Structure 1
Amino acid sequence: MDQKQLIKWAFTLSLITIIYNLIEGVVSTLFGAQDETLALFGFGVDSFAEVLSGIGIAHMILRMKSSAIETHDSFEVTALRITGVALYILAGGLVVGAILAFIYQAEPSTTMAGIIISTLSILTMYFLYSEKLKVGKKLNSEPIISDAKCTKTCFYLSFILLGSSLIYELFHIPYIDAIGSLGIAWYAWSEGKESFEKAYTKKLSCSDDCC
């Protein structure tokens, strides 16, 4: 593929990311609320935050069609700040929810939905990460490589949900769902911090391999 085709494929991947996270967010929050599983509900809310971030990435790739870019523009900075706020709120809410779950000894009715959704997410995020990384390297584009690394974070997040959901479903260990939600809260806080750092510096790249 030539450069034009590669950028088009990168944009398509960004659209897939947005659509998938939107569907994942709706399904996860619905089942999370229905089954009273805090980890799945938090995972779903994080997916909505990823939609906001994905819109900023899609906008950035569209700008690449006309010229090389070096910093985020005002639209992308606003998207990053909104994403950061949403992720901070999510992290705080999950911590409070986990504390209440410990106090009131709340447990989910089932975590089967979490197992299915996280498995699908692992497969999807691995595909997106691999393809974004390939395109980014072929274009020698740090922004797209950076986006691929951020997708890898979602890949790891899915493993946290899968682990907590699978352990609870098999062994019904008390509070494992709450512990899993704390793991998601930590990732949400880290992602939120990274979003604000990018908005402040307007840099296109992540500070490390997992932004």
Structure 2
Amino acid sequence: MDLVVEKTSLKKYYKIAFALGVFTIVYNVLEGLLSTHFGYEDESLALFGFGADSFIEVVSGLGIVHMILRIQQKPDSNRDDFERTALRITGSAFFALVLGLASTGIFNLWTGHKPESTFWGVVISLLSILVMGFLIYGKIRVGRQLNSKAILADAECTKVCIYMSIVLLASSGIYELTKFAYADIIGTFGLAYLSFKEGRECFEKARTDKNCSCDHC
């Protein structure tokens, strides 16, 4: 009887983990669409770059959902080819984003370009912090119930998304309040730095079976 209850409980938590993974993908798609739209309309490079990062996270999210299905079937299995490919694609996209943000940021610095507004950067970053906080809490709780190092590591790495949101919030908030000319550019370089770290981590994980290579893991 206890074994049946345990299997039912495990199945329940794997369903929750899968739902959190799917929610992450859907949310990142919506966040990416809104951020790139308002970033383009308001000429905020930091917000546009934040949206581009959200689209990259969709690819990463597909790999995470696949991982959850894999460990549900084989809890002790290692990362498979699908996940490694998703990591390489994600890492390459992050490095391309770094190049785009850095080069455009330097151009904006040279020309003295300033956003029309960063209001939506404040709104979207605040929403992102709340949603990512909820996801981290949910992933940690599920990971502990399943005793899954992979899911717990994913929760830790999700914190990078909060760091990005904080960078966007700081740069957008400062510009909106003070009109400090370089706030958006500084935020852009901050996002580029975090994107570089994420890209490097993706390639490291693709080469190994480590669950997470974040500095804080």
Q: What is the TM-score with the length of structure 2 in the denominator?
A: 0.94
What's the secondary structure of 2:58's corresponding residue?
A: helix
Match of 2:16 among 9, 12, 19: 9
2:97–2:195: 8 Å Cα contact kept in structure 1?
A: yes
For the pair 1:175 / 2:188, whether they are aligned, the reply is no
Judged with a 3 Å threshold, the aligned counterparts in structure 2 of structure 1 residues 71 and 204 are, in CA distance, closer, same or farther, namely farther
Match of 1:163 among 165, 170, 178: 170
Q: Deviations over 1:122-145 (max 9, x none)?
A: 000000001101111121101101
1:157–1:184: 8 Å Cα contact kept in structure 2?
A: yes
Aligned AA for 2:213? C
Aligned to 2:3: none
Query: In terms of mean alpha carbon deviation, does 195-204 or 50-59 score higher?
Result: 195-204
Distance in 2, matches of 1:208 and 1:69, equals: 24
2:32–2:55: 8 Å Cα contact kept in structure 1?
A: yes
For the pair 1:26 / 2:23, whether they are aligned, the reply is no
Aligned to 1:38: 45
1:32–1:40: 8 Å Cα contact kept in structure 2?
A: yes
Aligned AA for 1:65? Q
RMSD in angstroms over aligned alpha carbons?
1.2
Of the two, which has the highest radius of gyration?
2
Aligned to 2:5: none
Aligned to 1:103: 110
Match of 2:159 among 152, 156, 177: 152
Query: In terms of mean alpha carbon deviation, does 201-210 or 56-65 score higher?
Result: 201-210
For structure 1, the 5+ residue unaligned runs are: none
Aligned AA for 1:2? S
Structure 1 runs (4+) greater than 3 angstroms displaced = none
Aligned AA for 1:206? S
Alpha-carbon shift at residue 108 of structure 1 (Å): 0.2
2:157–2:212: 8 Å Cα contact kept in structure 1?
A: no
Distance in 2, matches of 1:3 and 1:70, equals: 17
Distance in 2, matches of 1:11 and 1:72, equals: 17
1:118–1:159: 8 Å Cα contact kept in structure 2?
A: yes
Q: Deviations over 1:138-175 (max 9, x none)?
A: 21101101110111110111010000000000000011
Distance in 1, matches of 2:20 and 2:158, equals: 11
Correspondence list, 1:72-83, <5 A: 72-83=79-90
Distance in 2, matches of 1:190 and 1:28, equals: 21
Aligned residue pairs, count: 210
Q: What is the TM-score with the length of structure 1 in the denominator?
A: 0.96
Judged with a 3 Å threshold, the aligned counterparts in structure 2 of structure 1 residues 207 and 28 are, in CA distance, closer, same or farther, namely closer
Match of 1:119 among 119, 126, 143: 126
Distance in 2, matches of 1:70 and 1:171, equals: 53
1:81–1:196: 8 Å Cα contact kept in structure 2?
A: yes
1:7–1:64: 8 Å Cα contact kept in structure 2?
A: no
Judged with a 3 Å threshold, the aligned counterparts in structure 2 of structure 1 residues 208 and 138 are, in CA distance, closer, same or farther, namely farther
For the pair 1:192 / 2:191, whether they are aligned, the reply is no
Judged with a 3 Å threshold, the aligned counterparts in structure 2 of structure 1 residues 163 and 87 are, in CA distance, closer, same or farther, namely same
